[in-house]
Amino acid sequence: MTKIRHVAAAPTRVQTLARGTGITAHRHDDHQIVYAARGTLAITTDRGSWIAPATRAIWVPAGTVHAHHAHGELELHLLGLPAATNPLRLREPTVLAVGPLLRELIVEYTRPPHDESAPRRRLRAVLLDRLRAAPQQPVHLPAPSDPRLRAVCAMLRADPADDRTLAALGAAAGASGRTLTRLFQADLGMTFPQWRTQLRLYHALVLLAEYTPVTVVAHRCGWSSASAFIDVFRRAFGHTPGTHLR
Protein backbone atom coordinates (compact mmCIF):
# COMPACT_ATOMS: atom_id res chain seq x y z
CA MET A 1 0.00 0.00 0.00
CA THR A 2 1.29 3.47 -0.93
CA LYS A 3 2.09 5.54 2.14
CA ILE A 4 0.22 8.85 2.26
CA ARG A 5 2.21 11.76 3.65
CA HIS A 6 0.57 13.99 6.21
CA VAL A 7 1.55 17.66 6.10
CA ALA A 8 0.25 19.52 9.15
CA ALA A 9 0.25 22.96 7.51
CA ALA A 10 -0.26 23.58 3.79
CA PRO A 11 2.78 25.60 2.70
CA THR A 12 2.54 28.96 0.98
CA ARG A 13 5.31 29.01 -1.60
CA VAL A 14 6.31 28.89 -5.26
CA GLN A 15 7.53 25.56 -6.60
CA THR A 16 8.65 24.44 -10.04
CA LEU A 17 7.95 20.97 -11.42
CA ALA A 18 9.49 19.49 -14.55
CA ARG A 19 7.15 18.11 -17.20
CA GLY A 20 5.88 14.65 -16.35
CA THR A 21 6.80 14.93 -12.66
CA GLY A 22 4.54 15.48 -9.69
CA ILE A 23 3.93 15.42 -5.96
CA THR A 24 2.86 12.06 -4.55
CA ALA A 25 -0.36 11.50 -2.60
CA HIS A 26 -0.52 13.57 0.56
CA ARG A 27 -2.93 15.50 2.76
CA HIS A 28 -2.68 18.54 4.99
CA ASP A 29 -4.72 20.03 7.80
CA ASP A 30 -5.15 23.36 6.00
CA HIS A 31 -7.09 24.31 2.90
CA GLN A 32 -4.99 25.04 -0.16
CA ILE A 33 -5.23 27.04 -3.36
CA VAL A 34 -3.05 25.53 -6.09
CA TYR A 35 -2.33 27.67 -9.14
CA ALA A 36 -0.08 27.00 -12.13
CA ALA A 37 1.16 30.30 -13.57
CA ARG A 38 2.93 28.29 -16.27
CA GLY A 39 2.06 24.83 -17.56
CA THR A 40 -1.04 22.78 -16.76
CA LEU A 41 -1.71 21.17 -13.39
CA ALA A 42 -3.69 17.98 -12.73
CA ILE A 43 -4.83 16.95 -9.26
CA THR A 44 -6.08 13.43 -8.59
CA THR A 45 -8.05 12.08 -5.64
CA ASP A 46 -10.00 8.88 -5.10
CA ARG A 47 -13.06 10.75 -6.40
CA GLY A 48 -11.57 11.77 -9.72
CA SER A 49 -9.22 14.19 -11.46
CA TRP A 50 -9.27 17.95 -11.92
CA ILE A 51 -7.11 19.87 -14.40
CA ALA A 52 -6.26 23.57 -14.51
CA PRO A 53 -4.33 25.67 -17.04
CA ALA A 54 -3.05 29.15 -16.19
CA THR A 55 -6.58 30.61 -16.31
CA ARG A 56 -7.74 28.32 -13.50
CA ALA A 57 -6.82 27.45 -9.91
CA ILE A 58 -7.81 24.41 -7.86
CA TRP A 59 -9.28 24.62 -4.37
CA VAL A 60 -8.20 21.64 -2.24
CA PRO A 61 -10.09 21.35 1.07
CA ALA A 62 -8.28 20.42 4.27
CA GLY A 63 -7.81 16.70 4.77
CA THR A 64 -8.21 15.79 1.09
CA VAL A 65 -5.75 13.12 -0.03
CA HIS A 66 -4.46 14.30 -3.40
CA ALA A 67 -1.53 14.06 -5.81
CA HIS A 68 -0.22 16.67 -8.27
CA HIS A 69 0.98 16.01 -11.81
CA ALA A 70 2.74 18.49 -14.12
CA HIS A 71 1.91 18.75 -17.80
CA GLY A 72 4.53 20.97 -19.36
CA GLU A 73 7.02 22.93 -17.25
CA LEU A 74 5.04 23.93 -14.17
CA GLU A 75 5.39 27.07 -12.10
CA LEU A 76 3.25 26.16 -9.11
CA HIS A 77 1.93 28.70 -6.61
CA LEU A 78 0.73 27.07 -3.38
CA LEU A 79 -1.34 29.08 -0.94
CA GLY A 80 -2.33 27.62 2.43
CA LEU A 81 -5.36 28.80 4.41
CA PRO A 82 -6.30 27.72 7.95
CA ALA A 83 -9.08 25.11 8.10
CA ALA A 84 -11.28 27.66 9.89
CA THR A 85 -10.98 29.99 6.86
CA ASN A 86 -13.13 28.58 4.09
CA PRO A 87 -14.21 31.53 1.92
CA LEU A 88 -15.84 29.24 -0.66
CA ARG A 89 -17.55 26.83 1.75
CA LEU A 90 -16.56 23.95 -0.52
CA ARG A 91 -15.97 20.42 0.74
CA GLU A 92 -14.35 18.90 -2.36
CA PRO A 93 -11.73 20.02 -4.90
CA THR A 94 -13.07 22.65 -7.26
CA VAL A 95 -11.63 24.44 -10.29
CA LEU A 96 -12.00 28.23 -10.16
CA ALA A 97 -11.66 30.83 -12.91
CA VAL A 98 -8.63 33.08 -12.38
CA GLY A 99 -8.89 36.54 -13.88
CA PRO A 100 -5.94 38.96 -14.19
CA LEU A 101 -6.45 40.52 -10.74
CA LEU A 102 -6.80 37.21 -8.87
CA ARG A 103 -3.76 35.88 -10.73
CA GLU A 104 -1.59 38.79 -9.60
CA LEU A 105 -2.88 38.50 -6.03
CA ILE A 106 -1.97 34.80 -5.87
CA VAL A 107 1.45 35.37 -7.43
CA GLU A 108 2.24 38.25 -5.06
CA TYR A 109 0.97 36.49 -1.94
CA THR A 110 3.05 33.37 -2.56
CA ARG A 111 6.27 35.37 -2.79
CA PRO A 112 8.43 35.74 0.34
CA PRO A 113 8.51 37.03 2.96
CA HIS A 114 5.70 34.91 4.40
CA ASP A 115 5.11 37.04 7.48
CA GLU A 116 2.07 38.49 9.22
CA SER A 117 2.77 42.13 8.44
CA ALA A 118 -0.13 44.56 8.02
CA PRO A 119 0.36 44.93 4.24
CA ARG A 120 0.36 41.15 3.86
CA ARG A 121 -2.84 40.80 5.91
CA ARG A 122 -4.50 43.40 3.69
CA LEU A 123 -3.31 41.54 0.59
CA ARG A 124 -4.77 38.30 1.95
CA ALA A 125 -8.12 40.00 2.68
CA VAL A 126 -8.41 41.22 -0.92
CA LEU A 127 -7.34 37.80 -2.22
CA LEU A 128 -10.06 36.09 -0.19
CA ASP A 129 -12.64 38.57 -1.49
CA ARG A 130 -11.67 37.77 -5.07
CA LEU A 131 -11.76 34.02 -4.36
CA ARG A 132 -15.35 34.37 -3.13
CA ALA A 133 -16.24 36.06 -6.42
CA ALA A 134 -14.39 33.54 -8.63
CA PRO A 135 -16.75 31.46 -10.81
CA GLN A 136 -16.48 27.69 -10.62
CA GLN A 137 -15.46 26.42 -14.07
CA PRO A 138 -14.45 22.78 -13.71
CA VAL A 139 -12.80 20.35 -16.02
CA HIS A 140 -13.47 17.42 -13.72
CA LEU A 141 -13.37 13.72 -14.48
CA PRO A 142 -15.19 11.95 -11.65
CA ALA A 143 -13.91 8.44 -10.88
CA PRO A 144 -16.46 5.64 -11.47
CA SER A 145 -17.04 2.99 -8.83
CA ASP A 146 -19.03 0.45 -10.86
CA PRO A 147 -16.66 -2.04 -12.57
CA ARG A 148 -18.56 -1.95 -15.85
CA LEU A 149 -18.38 1.83 -15.92
CA ARG A 150 -14.69 1.74 -14.99
CA ALA A 151 -14.05 -0.52 -17.99
CA VAL A 152 -15.79 1.87 -20.39
CA CYS A 153 -14.03 4.93 -18.95
CA ALA A 154 -10.66 3.15 -19.14
CA MET A 155 -11.18 2.42 -22.85
CA LEU A 156 -11.92 6.06 -23.56
CA ARG A 157 -9.05 7.33 -21.41
CA ALA A 158 -6.72 5.12 -23.44
CA ASP A 159 -8.07 6.62 -26.68
CA PRO A 160 -10.14 9.82 -26.31
CA ALA A 161 -10.73 9.78 -30.09
CA ASP A 162 -12.65 6.50 -29.81
CA ASP A 163 -16.04 7.42 -31.28
CA ARG A 164 -17.94 4.21 -30.56
CA THR A 165 -21.48 4.55 -29.26
CA LEU A 166 -22.23 3.74 -25.65
CA ALA A 167 -23.96 0.54 -26.78
CA ALA A 168 -20.82 -0.56 -28.65
CA LEU A 169 -18.60 0.26 -25.70
CA GLY A 170 -21.02 -1.57 -23.44
CA ALA A 171 -20.79 -4.70 -25.57
CA ALA A 172 -17.04 -4.73 -24.92
CA ALA A 173 -17.57 -4.10 -21.19
CA GLY A 174 -20.39 -6.57 -20.65
CA ALA A 175 -23.21 -4.09 -20.07
CA SER A 176 -26.10 -2.76 -22.13
CA GLY A 177 -26.22 0.82 -23.36
CA ARG A 178 -29.30 1.44 -21.21
CA THR A 179 -27.53 0.19 -18.08
CA LEU A 180 -24.49 2.35 -18.78
CA THR A 181 -26.68 5.41 -19.43
CA ARG A 182 -28.19 4.96 -15.98
CA LEU A 183 -24.79 4.36 -14.37
CA PHE A 184 -23.27 7.53 -15.84
CA GLN A 185 -26.02 9.59 -14.22
CA ALA A 186 -26.10 7.68 -10.92
CA ASP A 187 -22.35 7.14 -10.45
CA LEU A 188 -20.81 10.20 -12.14
CA GLY A 189 -23.62 12.76 -12.07
CA MET A 190 -23.46 13.48 -15.80
CA THR A 191 -24.50 12.01 -19.11
CA PHE A 192 -22.17 9.95 -21.28
CA PRO A 193 -21.74 12.76 -23.89
CA GLN A 194 -20.95 15.23 -21.08
CA TRP A 195 -18.33 12.91 -19.58
CA ARG A 196 -16.74 12.22 -22.97
CA THR A 197 -16.52 15.96 -23.70
CA GLN A 198 -14.89 16.53 -20.30
CA LEU A 199 -12.40 13.74 -21.04
CA ARG A 200 -11.54 15.20 -24.43
CA LEU A 201 -11.08 18.71 -23.00
CA TYR A 202 -8.91 17.26 -20.23
CA HIS A 203 -6.74 15.44 -22.75
CA ALA A 204 -6.62 18.53 -24.98
CA LEU A 205 -5.20 20.62 -22.13
CA VAL A 206 -2.52 17.99 -21.54
CA LEU A 207 -1.52 18.00 -25.22
CA LEU A 208 -1.56 21.80 -25.46
CA ALA A 209 0.74 21.98 -22.42
CA GLU A 210 3.22 19.99 -24.53
CA TYR A 211 2.85 22.53 -27.39
CA THR A 212 1.06 20.06 -29.64
CA PRO A 213 -0.39 21.83 -32.73
CA VAL A 214 -4.10 22.58 -32.53
CA THR A 215 -5.02 20.45 -35.55
CA VAL A 216 -3.18 17.47 -34.06
CA VAL A 217 -4.92 17.98 -30.70
CA ALA A 218 -8.32 18.05 -32.41
CA HIS A 219 -7.57 14.78 -34.22
CA ARG A 220 -6.16 12.96 -31.18
CA CYS A 221 -9.08 14.02 -28.98
CA GLY A 222 -11.80 12.92 -31.38
CA TRP A 223 -13.20 16.13 -32.85
CA SER A 224 -14.29 15.93 -36.47
CA SER A 225 -12.37 19.08 -37.39
CA ALA A 226 -10.11 21.72 -35.91
CA SER A 227 -12.94 24.27 -36.12
CA ALA A 228 -15.26 22.01 -34.10
CA PHE A 229 -12.56 21.62 -31.44
CA ILE A 230 -11.90 25.37 -31.35
CA ASP A 231 -15.61 26.08 -30.86
CA VAL A 232 -15.98 23.65 -27.92
CA PHE A 233 -12.70 24.85 -26.36
CA ARG A 234 -13.71 28.52 -26.61
CA ARG A 235 -17.07 27.85 -24.98
CA ALA A 236 -15.39 25.93 -22.15
CA PHE A 237 -12.47 28.27 -21.44
CA GLY A 238 -13.35 31.65 -22.96
CA HIS A 239 -10.46 31.70 -25.45
CA THR A 240 -9.19 29.68 -28.39
CA PRO A 241 -6.62 26.85 -28.20
CA GLY A 242 -4.21 29.03 -30.21
CA THR A 243 -4.45 31.77 -27.59
CA HIS A 244 -3.95 29.15 -24.92
CA LEU A 245 -0.73 27.95 -26.59
CA ARG A 246 0.64 31.49 -26.67
Q: What is the pLDDT of residues 219-244, one digit of tens each?
A: 999 999 999 999 999 998 888 998 87
Which residues share a beta bridge with 107?
A: none
Q: What is the pLDDT of residue 32?
A: 93
Please report the domains of the chain, with CATH numbers, ordered by start residue.
Answer: 5-140 (2.60.120.810), 143-245 (1.10.10.60)
Which residues share a beta bridge with 48?
A: 45, 142
Q: What is the pLDDT of residue 137?
A: 74
Q: What are phi and psi of 138, to 5 degrees?
A: -80, 145
The full length of the chain comes to 246
CB 77 within 8 A of CB 35: yes
pLDDT values of the chain reduced to their tens digit, one per residue, 246 residues: 457 888 777 789 999 999 999 999 999 999 999 999 999 999 999 989 999 988 899 999 999 999 999 999 999 999 998 888 888 888 889 999 999 999 999 999 999 888 889 999 999 999 999 998 998 876 789 989 999 999 999 999 999 999 999 999 999 999 999 999 999 999 999 999 999 999 999 999 999 998 999 999 999 999 999 999 999 999 988 889 988 766
Q: What is the pLDDT of residue 1?
A: 40
Say what the pTM is. Answer: 0.88
Compute the distance between CA of residue 240 and CA of residue 183 in angstroms, rounded to an integer. 33
DSSP state of 187: I
